[in-house]
Amino acid sequence: MFALIVLALLLLFAGSTFLQAPLNPREHPLGFLLFWIICGWLTLTAVLLALFDALMVKLESRRERRALRENLKPNSRGSTTD
């Protein structure tokens, strides 16, 4: 995920500086669209991966909480001493 964000930022920087002339939308509309679609796709992929990761952490937290609750629950049958 970090690599996707870094790559998207590098493409954003490149498209705004030294690739500005080759990406002129009036001269190269297809190249312009393709470049920015790739930037958007990388960014969207990173956001979706972050959401997926957050959901997985939440699910794991619920599982751990449930397991802890089951382990700490007092025995309902009562204890017997021998």
Q: What is the distance between the alpha carbons of residues 55 and 46, in angstroms, rounded to a whole number?
A: 14
pLDDT on residue 76: 55
pLDDT on residue 47: 92
Divide the 82 residues of the chain into consecutive groups of 10 and give the mean pLDDT of each group: 87 86 85 90 93 96 92 68 55
Nearest alpha carbon to residue 42 among 81, 11, 78? 11
pLDDT on residue 19: 83
pLDDT on residue 79: 54
